[in-house]
Structure 1
């Protein structure tokens, strides 16, 4: 065999041997990962209130010998594995917060936690899988720490609070982490999300936008109050609001190039009036916009203002449009070049036939703020039992939500192998 061919063969064999090693380590660690996940699931905390969760993670990272920061973006934890050798800095992220959802399933470790949300006492549940995300990143941190002598560069383990949105009047989440400098010096970032309707063992990816930008909005329609028996004496904000709702729906269907990407305008709340025979002064509409590229996002924002103002003027009413309302997430955008570079890692880790390219979803993720700073890849990892029909899988953000814990092993392997392979590629 010629030396050049031998060299190439050795290079291609190295990742395969690495994958076997990581798989063995992940299998050995799997019972511990499940134990961590069950602890987090039983004791969830709401956004910016993840105090006990953060301390649990911080103590574990200290036990690994990693220097860390606590209280990042309120309650976040960031640890750094420094190999002492030159190389890239790679960030791995997991989100930490639960949701104000009452758990309704038969898990022996189900949540009975109570928290405060918008001034009200509410049940709290990990109804989106963030408990699994933390456990998987802890598993990857252990494996990578044990492999420190084989690594080069640095790894940042980012445990992020408030992905579901900070409480009213507070900052939080990935946006605040970026403001506080978490991404300084980072070259790339990887993250993943468990999926309750994707088979265990499957990883899903997409080039470009994989999750939508989200922009909540409020439209206040101002009219003139009158008796319901004499509507001609009013400037009717209810009729005006109804026409605005219908007009907003034509933006997506008649103004946007839907063969390029999907978009959504949803009005989720209408408030106005208090009696059947009184036309009120005001009606409030609250809704959300979802887009998958910046051009369509800009176009939709302009169109919402134009539609609301034009319809109101035609009805002799006035409007105040607040867009975005209280928060705004960019598109979760997988850098195409980085995605291409890491695809062989997905195939080798999950196995041929278990790597699926998927269409974008109109859900949103504040991981997108990290991706605005550096190239990043965000993936979905299967958490559905393979024998459960997809239509029967419990949805995220619902009281019935649950996942098959067997799916977490692949998540641990992916976070680990993505890191190792990126490091190798930058040597």
Structure 2
């Protein structure tokens, strides 16, 4: 974590960390260093950079920024969010066992269940809301507990402190996907997590114009291991992508406030609508994890899911009628998106796995943008009633 700005507040660090890199022209924004290679002063010394796969000044600036926001000692920016997860999975060896939630993002589930199982890793998918279920899933070969909270798409909240306490009992690594809330709303390191991953595509960038990921480490030991893996596998993000994320992250605080303001308005409307069976939003007092979310989060975020009465036919009619909600995957951008997990974000899960997670043909996921909340509420309401 950069000491230069560590004493300042969150949004100050978001704006200033990783910026002052241009001593030649005093640029107020971080330059894009597109060079693939850097010349050496002699056979043993260089500027600190030799080849962009290994390190790049623009990427380094982004890494400093995100490490500062999360409170980590180091970060590695990767080409995608899945590249970030791929990176941390290479901390383990064949035979290792990892515990994860049964309602995680579909792409993560696919990577775990279909790809890394073929490389010798073993996974158990359990109800992460039950600390006893997590404890019972531990075997002599367990090395890690994977935490995704709130979960995707049902927004179940995992008690991070309870899970990390279990992990400490058995000396297990804990890795948390903090994509849904960002460091502005949730601080996993402060609750005992060892490593944090992000899809920077989402809230950190916030403008739906780049894909990227990041791994943030709490200790130098993990930071060094992660950096080695990113370099060895060639998983680092491009300089231009790093520039775009660094540009976007500057407005993270104000954007998250706007996202969650709109999400609360949408959730409250859905909660009382005759054509909605159930709303999944921790900000609602009726959500079973509401008090837990209040305790471990600064806010409730911009994601809302719900079950629509009538299943897929009703969902298709809704999607056809929305004017402000675009039918698209991804999340965390300034524009509002709506999607159908069964055929989109979670299609990579088996039908049995979706059923076990509670995802059905009724389930719809919304990423609430920063538009005027009253407009979003009116648009969704007319689409439900059409």
- Check whether TM > 0.5: no
TM-score range, shorter chain: under 0.3
Larger radius of gyration: 1
Which structure's residues are more often strand, by fraction? 1
TM-score, structure 2 normalization:
0.23
Greater relative CO (CA pairs within 8 A, separation 6+): 1
What is the TM-score when the length of structure 1 is the normalising length?
A: 0.22
